Structure 1
């Protein structure tokens, strides 16, 4: 799994990007207030996002679409969103700045 860097447009995005890099190196550690999410259509990449994302309408839309297409049973054992990684990064970047 490679390191995913989100665009750093302000200090919050820089902190989020640093956290993502740290969590990619320490796969089993998820800081308090964050959740691991596996994203991808075939190859799944692990992202660590703030729990507050779960309440955001854009994130909820991603979850609904993934559930409708693939259900809740996933081999990764965690929250899985089956969308292209670049789409996920684009949406979560927007969420950081809204």
Structure 2
């Protein structure tokens, strides 16, 4: 069941990517995400981050909080900006 749920999360992220790329200035192969708990900041990350287990954990947390309805119109990740920057620095994706 966990693999199916992860596939569902990734599929939803891909739908948001398509919408996001049409509406915003996001280079091909990248995804805009909004990070923060109150004030949200926009980051553009490569799609390769979707394969990273740590990033997938953030996607699961996002699904738990928002389901598939993201208020910013793009993928919203509910964590502190500092934690996101620290994690993505470890993944070398920003």
Give the superposition deviation at 1:72. 2.1
Corresponding residue of 2:71:
75
Indicate the structure with greater helix content: 2
Runs of 4 or more, structure 1, over 3 Å off, are: none
Please give the alpha-carbon distance, in whole angstroms, between the structure 2 residues aligned to 1:60 and 1:71.
Answer: 14
TM-score, structure 2 as length reference: 0.69
Larger relative CO (CA 8 A, sep 6+): 1 or 2?
2
When Rg is computed on C-alpha atoms for both structures, the one with the higher figure is 1
Deviations 1:37-79 (A, max 9, x none): 0000011100000010011100000110121133221221111
Farther-moved stretch of structure 1 (74-83 vs 62-71): 62-71
Identify the range of structure 1 (67-76 vs 42-51) with the bigger mean alpha-carbon deviation: 67-76
Unaligned runs of 5+ in 1: 1-27
Q: TM-score, normalised by structure 1?
A: 0.67
**C-alpha separation between the residues in 2 aligned to 1:47 and 1:90?**
13
